[in-house]
Amino acid sequence: MLVLGVYREEIFSPGRVEDDKQIMDAALTELRALGHATRAVSAEALDAPLPGVGCVLTMAQSRRVLAVLEAWGEEGVLVINAPSAIYACRRTSLIRVLDTAGLPLPPGEIVSLDDGNAAGRPASHSFRHCWLKRGDVHRVREGDVVKATSGPEFEAALDHFRSHRIPKVVIQRHLEGEVVKFYGIRNGYFAGFGTSGNGDGAGWLADLRSIAKLAADAVGLEIYGGDAIITPDGRTVLIDLNAWPSFSRCRQDASRNIASYAAEVIAGAIPALNNGNEPNKRLFSVTRS
């Protein structure tokens, strides 16, 4: 079976294009060592079906490419991560599904810039420090994720989103604590990193692993990463979840586990989620904007 790797679009990979390419290339190299034929293509170049492709490993995020991959999935091609899960990582959809699943998030709200609420004072403006984040995709330019500590900074952030015609904004209270990054794969692989380095042996790692897995399962992600805050009183609070990060802090181990996972899905040893993930579809309504 031919395994196709699809690189992330450069617009969705600001400052991380090479890191993203390296994790995909490393995973494909490991798959070749397991006996699979592989090929890689840029998301921008992906269009018509390629002969012989049975499985796609994708980092793509654009609506055009996800629509292509959805169609391939309907024809029986395995797609990891499923387009439905990638759509679900668009921020407003993500906040809603994680909140519905009861996962710990910073207090906040989703604000529409087309209504009077945003023109006045959203409730989150009462937060002394808060984060404003574009409500669709993750950061693609400076100002898409910004901390505001004053009224003028808050208004400047809203002006940025309005100027780029971003219709919805997520506003969340800033939480004090240690920022940690995590990386996971559905086969059980997990790694967490705090300010002091690898989280192995850290008291927060087991709780983070459990919360991150619940979040990934709720969204339908197979290869994922994100950020969390470990508060001074020991709580773990999710602040971000995304599909197929660069795994830059653990690329070698992650690439082996990605390849092993894909090989097991191809062999049928692990049930595929693919595009028709019914639990995912029942849990929330995906916003494709």
**Rg of the chain over all Cα atoms, to the nearest angstrom:** 19
Q: What is the secondary structure of 62-87 as a DSSP string?
A: -HHHHHHHHHHHHTT-EEES-HHHHH
Q: Residue 119 has what pLDDT?
A: 44
**Could you tell me if residue 132 is inside a domain?**
yes
Cα separation, 212 vs 239, in Å, equals: 11
pLDDT digits (tens, 9 = 90+) for 124-142: 455 668 988 887 767 777 7
Q: Each residue of 234-258: pLDDT tens digit?
A: 999 999 999 999 999 999 999 999 9
Residues ≥6 apart with Cβ < 8 Å to 51 = none
Q: 269 lies in a domain?
A: no
Percent helix, strand and coil across the chain, each rounded to 5?
A: 40, 25, 35
What is the pLDDT, as a whole number, of residue 195? 81
Spatial contact of 113 and 168, defined as CB atoms under 8 Å apart: yes
Q: What are phi and psi of 62, to 5 degrees?
A: -75, 150
Question: Does 64 fall in a domain?
Answer: no
Does residue 160 form part of some domain? yes
> Is residue 38 assigned to a domain?
no
Residue 12: predicted pLDDT: 86
Expressed as residue numbers, the domain containing 148 is 107-173
Please tell me the predicted confidence (pLDDT) of residue 170. 87
Domain count, the chain: 1
The model's pLDDT over 149-200, given as tens digits with 9 standing for 90+, comes to: 888 888 888 888 888 888 888 899 999 999 999 999 999 999 999 987 777 7
pTM: 0.86
Query: Is residue 284 pLDDT above 80, yes or no?
Result: no
Residues 6+ apart with CB under 8 A from 212: 182, 184, 190, 224, 226, 228, 238, 241
Exposed, middle or buried, 269 (CB in 10 Å: 0-12/13-18/19+)? exposed
pLDDT of res. 118:
44
Give residue 274's pLDDT: 57
Answer yes or no: is pLDDT of 121 > 70: no
The whole-chain average pLDDT of the chain stands at 86
223 assigned to some structural domain: no
The CATH number assigned to the domain holding 163 equals: 3.30.1490.20
| pLDDT score of 287 more than 60 | no
Question: Cα dist. 66→97, 103, 113, 118, 215 in Å?
Answer: 20, 27, 27, 31, 21
Give the pLDDT score at 275.
45
Query: What does the alpha-carbon distance between residue 143 and residue 132 come to, in Å, rounded to a whole number?
Result: 9
For residue 113, being part of any structural domain is answered with yes
Residue 215 pLDDT > 60, yes or no? yes
Q: Identify whether 281 is part of a domain.
A: no
Q: Residue 283's pLDDT is what?
A: 34
pLDDT at 127: 62
Residue of 240, 232, 235 lying closest to 176 (CA atoms): 232
pLDDT computed for residue 191 by the predictor = 95
Residue 246 has a pLDDT of 95
DSSP character at residue 254: H
- pLDDT band at residue 113 under the 50/70/90 scheme: confident
Q: What percent of the chain has pLDDT over 70?
A: 88
Tokens standing for residue 127: 């937060």
